[in-house]
Amino acid sequence: MKPSIRTLIHAFVFFLCCGGVCLAKRGAPSPVAPVRVGDLEYRASVSSRCPGCVEIWDISRHRQVETIVVYRIPYKFWLEQDVQWKFITKLEVHGNDLLVLSEKGDSYRVDLATKRVTKQK
């Protein structure tokens, strides 16, 4: 028994609508070592809500005190969001600056006094 044209069209449409969803899922980001400056600890966010954020934690009070948005991701509506995420892979402190490296190889400098972010070339 040969499949009908209608069956083939339904299978094709199903693959287009649902097949890509299964292929688009990505794994969790690799853990990033936090860095400490005095009583403050800077941690890379693992939240999909802000993959380009650094959380500032007060170690003495054991709570988060601030979040710095290092970079934003301009999402394309036609792609799954998870394949567009760009998480932080490394944090380093150099003097009064926090250096942030992303999965895509972009690097950023955060002035710890002013919280101003600049993208490095």
Can you name the CATH fold of 27-119?
A: Thrombin, subunit H (2.40.10)
CB-based contacts of 65, cutoff 8 Å, min separation 6: 40, 56, 57, 58
Run of H or E including 68: strand 63-69
Where do the structural domains in the chain lie, given as residue ranges?
A: 27-119
Three-class DSSP category at 11: helix
pLDDT in tens, the chain (121 residues): 566 777 656 665 565 555 544 455 777 778 999 999 999 999 999 888 889 999 999 999 999 999 999 999 888 999 888 888 899 999 999 999 999 999 999 999 999 999 999 999 8
